[in-house]
Structure 1
Amino acid sequence: MKVFKNISELEASVGEELGVTEWQKITQKQINEFAEVTGDLQWIHTKPMKAKLLSPFKTTIAHGFLVLSLAPRMLEDIYAVKSVKMGINYGLNHVRFTAPVPVNSEVRGKVILKSFEKMDNQRGKGARLIVSLTFELKNSEKPACVAELVFLIYE
């Protein structure tokens, strides 16, 4: 994990890779629980036997949004800013699900700090960050997902 003392130190890393997470396996249990929470019970995700027979992937696949929902944990595993008291998810500029994630596949996150803009508002002094997060898929040339996330951080 890369640890920065303050946001000014983080600012010096614009354009750089902040790190890569460990591989994380996506299980059928995770897929089923995500399906229940979101109401997306499509058989391609939740019915292994049907998927084996009818799916072009011959197995169940993870929801794209399940993969994307791993972002907060991955970011926490990659970097921290000691002086930050609060972080807020501000949104997404870009997301593409570029490859299916078959059950029991492994993904990891690679983070690049794309931009950093200092700000001072009613919440305090901080910065708006844009990070590029690539969800790499083990044994695949294509990533599972590419996303550009926007965060607000406050000291």
Structure 2
Amino acid sequence: MLIVNNYEEFEAHLGEVLGISQWHTITQQQINLFSDATLDHQWIHTDPERSAIESPFKKTIAHGYLTLSLIPYLWKQIADIRNIKMEINYGIESFKFGQAVVVDSEVRLKAKLKSIANLRGITKVSIEAELEIKDQPKPAYTGAVQFLYHFNS
């Protein structure tokens, strides 16, 4: 796991792959809970019987936004950002969904430091994010997320 204590330590990794998270299994329970939270109960996500018959995937699939919402959880497995007063999810850009994530798939995040800037004492990083699906050649998505880190000093 990468440990970062300040801007300079972060900047030293510019352009590098920072790491890869552990595998996380997408369960039907997680999909259903996400459906409830977002009020998106489309059958392709929540109805295993109908999906087995009518879906091109023959199983339910995770919401694309569910897979995006895993970024903070998986990112914390890659990097331990210490000595901060506050961390803010600042933005997302250029995300492309390359492949559906079917229920019971295992996914993991691969993260690369795309850019870093010092904004008057606040560290802004852009992380290239790729969600890999176990035993699949194409990722679920690729894109970039931005975080703001307010280091103590």
Q: TM-score, normalised by structure 1?
A: 0.95
Structure 1 segments, 4+ long, off by >6 Å, are none
Name the structure 2 match of 1:106.
106
**Secondary structure, in 3 states, of the residue corresponding to 2:14?**
coil
Name the structure 2 match of 1:151.
147
Name the structure 1 match of 2:4.
4
Give 1:42 deviation, angstroms.
0.3
Name the structure 2 match of 1:141.
137
Name the structure 1 match of 2:66.
66
Q: TM-score, normalised by structure 2?
A: 0.96
**Secondary structure, in 3 states, of the residue corresponding to 1:35?**
helix
RMSD: 0.8
Q: Distance in 1 between matches of 2:30 and 2:53?
A: 22
Contact 1:7/1:81 (8 A) holds in 2: no
Contact 1:93/1:148 (8 A) holds in 2: yes
Give 1:104 deviation, angstroms.
0.2
Name the structure 2 match of 1:29.
29
**Which segments of 5 or more consecutive residues in structure 1 lack a partner in the other structure?**
none
Percent identical: 42
Name the structure 1 match of 2:50.
50
Q: Distance in 2 between matches of 1:79 and 1:85?
A: 16
**Which segments of 5 or more consecutive residues in structure 2 lack a partner in the other structure?**
none
**Secondary structure, in 3 states, of the residue corresponding to 1:100?**
coil
Aligned length: 151
* Amino acid of the structure 2 residue aligned with 1:71: I
